[in-house]
Amino acid sequence: MEKIRKGDEVVVIAGKDKGKRGIVLRYVKVGYVVVEGVNRVKKHTKPNPVKGVVGGLLEKDMPIHVSNIAIYNPLTKKADRVGFKWIDDGKKKVRIFKSGGEVLGA
C-alpha cells in the first residue's frame, strides 16, 4: 500500500517549487509522481502536420520524487506524514495522518 496515491493533495517540501500545492495526477515509475502545476517545464516541439501537432512552446508537468512531497492535511493546513492503521478488528488497513490520527479520505 502506497503512502501517496493518485488524487491526493500534496505539498512540495523540497526543490525549486517548495511550498506549492497540487493534486497527484499519476505515478510514472516507482518513486516518481506527476503533480499538477509542479515541476513545470517548457518543451519546444516541432510541427507535424501528419499527426496534427502544432509546433511551439508547450508547458508540461514533469515527474517529481516522492521524497520531495508530503501529503496536505486540511485540518492543520500543513504538510503531514502518513501512517497506517488496521480497523474493524484487523480486516481493513487505512491511511492516517501522523499528527492527529485522522483517517485520510474520510
Question: Which domains can be identified in the chain, with CATH numbers?
Answer: 9-97 (2.30.30.30)
pTM: 0.83
**How much is the pLDDT for 91?**
87
Q: What is the dihedral of CA 32, 81, 13, 9, to 10 degrees?
A: 70
How much helix, strand and coil, in percent to the nearest 5, is found in the chain? 5, 50, 45
**Interval 38-91: pLDDT, tens:** 999 999 999 999 999 889 999 999 999 999 999 999 999 999 999 999 988 888
Torsion angles phi and psi, residue 98, rounded to 5: -70, -30
